[in-house]
Structure 1
């Protein structure tokens, strides 16, 4: 199971907007195959299943019980992540979910503990860090290309998703906000490159008490904001590197870098971690200019779903998978700790840690490693 001869059979739960990205990727990968689709809206499940050869539409309960589903791909809204994951684990299925792993660390730990007892695996987005962008940057850092890292910055600014999303309310309820929505991309990249985080300080704000839907049938409808929409903080990594983070739904535009890493001998510019590739650039003290770095790590041409294929490979070989539950849990713990620090005005120790995932060699295929 999980190899090209016996591909991992996937049951997709939640046929919403992000499901299309996964379904576009899976036909490119030999070790995974979608066999079932479920959604609270049966018509949407049917319409999605019709686009996938060999897949059928089921109710969520039917999918969880289906003998031809090995892994549940959990693409529901964040508030339902733990419920679906726990049900899948109870049914003896592996789980791979969209980020965050759960609405909070209490639920997330329940999922991981249940999976450990059941002997099944948990994976979680983002898998963007498996692409050539972040992996090339990691390869540079591992090779000492800018000397010992001492600091990093990570910035994500936007005026808010309500401008384009027809039902954006969940982004502004508990479990949403810029940190929990977009932070996993940036924090997973930082942990992949620089290792886990041990302590955080932060501040947050909610400048706009309401937002207005900008498109779709509910355009013009206002709704309340229940979470911080601008969060900034400093993360102390276990090896002493200090990362400055800013996540905002309150800024129209900026010329800030997505991610930069600063070492004793130079600096590294890292592309948008919400994508899989992009140009990495390096500034070195000996050359005194920014120069492009050739791709030197990562899955070429990767897209959403490569983390599932990497998990399938790990099942076939018995090794670890990279976009794993403990990494996702640590990232969620860092985000919770940062929000707690912002509320208390005090530094907060991060209770969890995680192993730094194995690097992805350049030109590797997830089903062949």
Structure 2
């Protein structure tokens, strides 16, 4: 089996704990080092992980025990850390989006390819039994030829629960770049790549109020659009409609529905790994639930990194950089379409990742 694969984590904030629930107990990897601009926070995380060192960011990126860097920094720092890791000969798996802008994201993928290094990126939730079971059913022809789909994410905004939500409302944030990767990654898994987009966007509030933590009551500025809608033209001809919003309280819409000639599949929240997949077939009188038939069962955040570590030349990472780049291309295309008032053809495409057989994490 060999030694566990050495992981170095840059960024030990809110999301780090979710990753550690999976990675700290996996025999395939070892958390060799952690780093954070808040040194005390990094030291506290390292203290809870036997054999893990708290290092400066530069030291972690150069450390020979670190083979893959898990990049959990804020979106505006994603590209800087990823490119530095690649320059140090490290593979990279990062939080979404791959970068705040398309140009640096493309540079990450290109430089990694030149160096012969792998790149992966969240979300890996779409590798769980929810999205994968829906994909298996669609591929098996359960609803016939897919014709259209819808994806809806509506929330009042992350400042309600996040103690430091500033980055959600500056460049690289907003509902589309923050939550859109879940929905777009799922739609590509289900229906294949996107060739063009049309979008509309807006913001009706110039500031938000932090609702929890030591900064509760503090007002923060809003510098990005907080409601984005659009139409995705898939290469297959399927049309998907997408809504992502920080401006609603709640919605009755299904997170994702795929409509085919012979039925409709309701796909669970792609921000979760599992959930009920339901189908309403032509001629039926009600929805019926499908048992899990594909995906990593019992998975948590970090399964995409483990999938990357296990990748081979014949089976690339399922949450790979090429998929993340294509998803970012679609999202920035929607924002550009909204700003320019025109249809935008994407500059990237991607192969659907290999499906995940039903397996226990």
Q: TM-score, normalised by structure 2?
A: 0.98
- What residue in structure 1 maps to residue 358 of structure 2? 362
Separation of aligned partners in 2, 1:325 and 1:305: 15
Please say if 1:29 is aligned against 2:26: yes
Partner of 1:178: 175
Q: Which residue is 2:258 aligned to?
A: 261
Rounded Cα–Cα distance in structure 2 between residues aligned with 1:318 and 1:70: 21
Match in the other structure for 2:99: 102
Shift of 1:36: 0.6
How far the C-alpha of 1:27 sits from its partner, in A, is: 3.6
2: distance between equivalents of 1:307 and 1:245? 24
- In structure 1, the partner of 2:77 is 80
Equivalent position of 2:43 in the other structure:
46
Provide the residue aligned with 2:247 in structure 1.
Answer: 250
Name stretches of at least 5 consecutive residues in structure 1 with no aligned partner.
Answer: none
Q: Helix, strand or coil: the match of 1:203?
A: strand
How far does residue 358 in structure 1 lie from its aligned partner after superposition?
0.3
Q: Which aligned pairs between 1:198-209 and structure 2 lie closer than 5 A? A: 198-209=195-206
Cα contact 1:5–1:31 (8 A) shared by 2? no
Structure 1 window deviating more from structure 2 (355-364 vs 130-139): it is: 355-364
1:279-302 C-alpha deviation (Å, 9 max, x unpaired): 000000132320000111001100
Distance 1:10-1:264 versus aligned 2 partners, 3 A rule:
same
For residues 251 and 104 of structure 1, the distance between their equivalents in structure 2, rounded to whole angstroms, comes to: 26
- Distance in 1 of aligned mates of 2:230 and 2:168: 20
Q: SS at the partner of 1:309?
A: helix
State the shift of 1:173 in Å.
Answer: 0.5
Q: Paired residue for 1:69?
A: 66
1:337 aligns with 2:354: no
CA distance in 1, matches of 2:40, 2:156: 33
Name the SS of the counterpart of 1:153 in structure 2: strand
The Cα of 1:275 is off from its aligned counterpart by: 0.5
- Contact (CA 8 Å) 1:154, 1:258: kept in 2 or not? yes
In structure 1, the partner of 2:121 is 124
Deviations 1:207-264 (A, max 9, x none): 1111111122222221221110000011010000010100000001111111010000
Query: Which runs of at least 4 in structure 1 moved beyond 4 Å after TM superposition?
Result: none
Q: What is the distance in 2 between the residues matched to 1:280 and 1:187? A: 18
What is the CA-CA distance between 1:318 and the residue it aligns to?
Answer: 5.9
1:89 is matched with: 86
The separation in 1 between residues aligned to 2:156 and 2:82, in whole angstroms, is 32
Shift in Å at residue 54 of structure 1?
1.6
Q: Quick check: 2:24–2:49 contact (8 Å CA) kept in 1?
A: no
How many residue pairs end up in the alignment? 361
Q: Give TM-score, length-normalised by structure 1.
A: 0.96
